């Protein structure tokens, strides 16, 4: 099954000579049945520089060397980051056991991607989670209004518009690789040093870097459950200044912070990271336990026909698209009237099912299609309009995702008068909100729902910035907010 990794598209292929570099095996950092370096290795500064020169055909000599490369080599898959202990005269890669997928003697180094400054955008799943965690509808509408004011092309950006892929301020967010290595980072802390971009999201002629300090929101796609979005605390650590445009997670704690995000790892997963002021979480939901499904093994030798048949079978045994649509229906309808829509029991079941479906290509796990059919027969007769289904099979969603979708339709169809009316009402609502007393209903709602464990986002009573709250501290923070 893991041979399927070989079929991934690569940016660059470099055949290694035996005397050119050294390949070493180092141990993973493991604790409590979790791997804190899952899929993450190291590369020397000299080899990292050589790889980037090859990528650029030796055209750019004085360039900033990427801090991380996603690679395939000799049956290994993962992300290698620059080893702070190395020099530019050294040429090596340090592989960890978690990167080893199958036995292979092909020492061709495939580069599948590398770290770079990439601004991030919202999407429907991010919006669901942010909304569940206390971000107001008006906040999203203001971000959309700002985007429309820049007049994005109706034809070139129609897909982004309809899927609510709303850009965020370029120097307040990134889409970056996740990494881990030994450092002073405590549990709940992270390190981000990003390249400052111009207002068009492009690199400046004289690149400058800045360290993020304070609260950051971190998640990744797919993220069907509110607990898949974390609020960490970014700190400034000079010992990590050699790493740019990546997020460094702590190796301390009971469970890796990245694993709390939909059971993610560090083999090249891209993370949404936001540190601006407009999107502020008012609570947090405890993450799910995404224990991987047992892998299916073939005891006999594998023939080329076996590989072909397996790859073809994965096209039919996965049901990710259908599960995603059913999850969207359940979350949008909110049949059980939950404060956090994605925390409904059926939504959680579909979230787990979706995770298994996404990984089925690696594990061979077969999704229970009878269960999917049963859910579809009960709930899947009508789709929310933002899924773009046939009009006869759709209903008008009243959620924030539906509102944003219809605003995008108005923009694409040139209905500027309608949009002006909607956004004018937004300004009126903003003024009314300023006159209203503090709303404590959300905090009370957390106490009233025993099946959802939330923590306050107030750090004033935390032991150190970024540390999780205990049950006692959380109860104190909720009681204080109710006074």
Query: CA separation (Å) from 285 to 225, 228, 290, 468?
Result: 9, 8, 15, 11
439 assigned to some structural domain? no
- Per-residue model confidence as pLDDT tens digits over 321-380: 889 999 999 999 998 889 999 999 999 999 999 888 776 656 666 778 899 999 999 998
Range 386-397 average pLDDT: 92
406 assigned to some structural domain? no
CB atoms under 10 Å from CB of 24, counted, come to 11
Element (H, E) at 309: helix 304-317
- Cβ distance 247 to 190 under 8 Å? yes
> What pLDDT does residue 3 have?
46
Cis peptide before 396 (omega within 30 of 0): no
330 assigned to some structural domain? yes
Alpha helices of 167-303 — where are they, by DSSP H? none
| Residue 60 predicted with pLDDT over 80 | no
51 assigned to some structural domain? yes
* Entry pTM: 0.83
- Cβ distance 92 to 44 under 8 Å? yes
In this structure, are strands 283-285 and 454-456 parallel, antiparallel, or unpaired? antiparallel
DSSP structural state of residue 197: B
Mean of all residue pLDDT scores within the chain = 83
> What pLDDT does residue 446 have?
36
| Residue 90 predicted with pLDDT over 90 | yes
> What pLDDT does residue 471 have?
41
**Residue that is last in its domain, among 86, 114, 142:** 114
**Residue that is last in its domain, among 63, 81, 114:** 114
| Residue 459 predicted with pLDDT over 80 | no
Residue 428, Ramachandran bin (φ over 0: left; ψ between -120 and 50: alpha; else beta): alpha
- Per-residue model confidence as pLDDT tens digits over 166-180: 999 999 999 999 999
191 assigned to some structural domain? no
Q: String of b and e for 300-333 (b: at least 16 CB within 10 Å)? A: eeeeeeeeeebeeeeeeebbbebbbbbbbbbbbb
Domain count of the chain? 2
| Calpha distance 462→189 (Å, rounded) | 13
**Residue that is last in its domain, among 362, 381, 400:** 381
> What pLDDT does residue 453 have?
46
| Calpha distance 232→251 (Å, rounded) | 14
> What pLDDT does residue 186 have?
96
56 assigned to some structural domain? yes
Please list the residues that pair with 232 across neighbouring strands. 216
Q: State the residue range of the domain holding 19.
A: 14-114
- Per-residue model confidence as pLDDT tens digits over 109-166: 889 999 999 999 999 999 999 999 999 999 999 999 999 999 988 878 899 999 999 9
Q: In the chain, what percentage of residues exceed pLDDT 90?
A: 60
326 assigned to some structural domain? yes
What's the token pair of residue 155?
């034809």
- The model's confidence at residue 82, banded by pLDDT at 50, 70 and 90, is very high
409 assigned to some structural domain? no
Element (H, E) at 471: helix 471-482
In this structure, are strands 68-73 and 108-114 parallel, antiparallel, or unpaired? antiparallel
- Cβ distance 260 to 225 under 8 Å? no
């Amino acid at each position: 099954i893991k041979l399927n990794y070989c079929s991934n598209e690569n940016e660059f292929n470099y055949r290694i000579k035996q005397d050119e570099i050294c390949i070493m095996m180092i141990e993973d950092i493991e604790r409590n049945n979790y791997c804190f370096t899952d899929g993450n290795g190291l590369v020397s500064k000299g080899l990292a520089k050589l790889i980037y020169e090859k990528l650029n055909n030796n055209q750019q000599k004085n360039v900033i060397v990427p801090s991380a490369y996603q690679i395939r080599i000799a049956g290994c898959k993962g992300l290698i980051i620059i080893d702070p202990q190395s020099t530019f005269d050294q040429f090596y890669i340090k592989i960890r056991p978690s990167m080893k997928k199958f036995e292979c003697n092909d020492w061709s180094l495939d580069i599948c991607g590398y770290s770079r400054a990439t601004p991030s955008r919202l999407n429907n799943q991010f919006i669901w989670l942010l909304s569940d965690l206390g971000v107001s509808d008006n906040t999203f509408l203001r971000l959309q209004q700002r985007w429309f004011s820049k007049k994005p092309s109706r034809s070139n950006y129609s897909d982004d518009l309809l899927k609510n892929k709303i850009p965020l301020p370029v120097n307040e967010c990134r889409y970056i690789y996740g990494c881990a290595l030994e450092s002073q980072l405590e549990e709940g802390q992270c390190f981000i040093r990003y390249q400052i971009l111009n207002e068009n999201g492009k690199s400046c002629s004289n690149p400058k870097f800045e360290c993020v300090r304070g609260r950051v929101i971190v998640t990744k796609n797919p993220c069907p459950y509110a607990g898949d979005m974390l609020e960490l605390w970014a700190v400034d650590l000079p010992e990590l200044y050699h790493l740019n445009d990546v997020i460094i997670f702590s190796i301390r704690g009971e469970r890796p912070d990245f694993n709390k995000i939909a059971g993610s790892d560090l083999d090249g997963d891209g993370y949404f990271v936001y540190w601006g002021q407009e999107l502020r979480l008012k609570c947090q939901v405890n993450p799910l336990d995404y224990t991987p499904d047992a892998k299916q093994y073939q005891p006999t030798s594998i023939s080329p026909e076996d590989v072909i048949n397996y790859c073809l079978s994965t096209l039919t045994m996965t049901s990710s698209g259908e599960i995603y649509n059913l999850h969207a229906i359940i979350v949008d309808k909110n049949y059980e009237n939950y404060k956090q829509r994605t925390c409904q029991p059926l939504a959680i079941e579909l979230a787990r099912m979706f995770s298994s479906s996404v990984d089925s290509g690696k594990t061979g796990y077969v999704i229970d299609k009878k269960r999917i059919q049963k859910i579809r027969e009960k709930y899947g007769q009508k789709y929310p309009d933002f899924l773009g289904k046939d009009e006869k099979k759709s209903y008008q969603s009243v959620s924030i995702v539906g509102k944003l979708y219809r605003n995008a339709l108005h923009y694409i169809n040139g209905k500027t008068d309608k949009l002006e009316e909607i956004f004018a009402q937004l300004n009126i609502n903003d003024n009314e909100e300023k006159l209203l007393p503090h709303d404590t209903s959300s905090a009370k709602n957390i106490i009233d729902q025993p099946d959802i464990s939330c923590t306050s986002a107030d750090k004033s009573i935390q032991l150190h910035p970024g540390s999780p709250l205990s049950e006692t501290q959380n109860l104190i923070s909720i009681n204080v907010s109710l006074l």
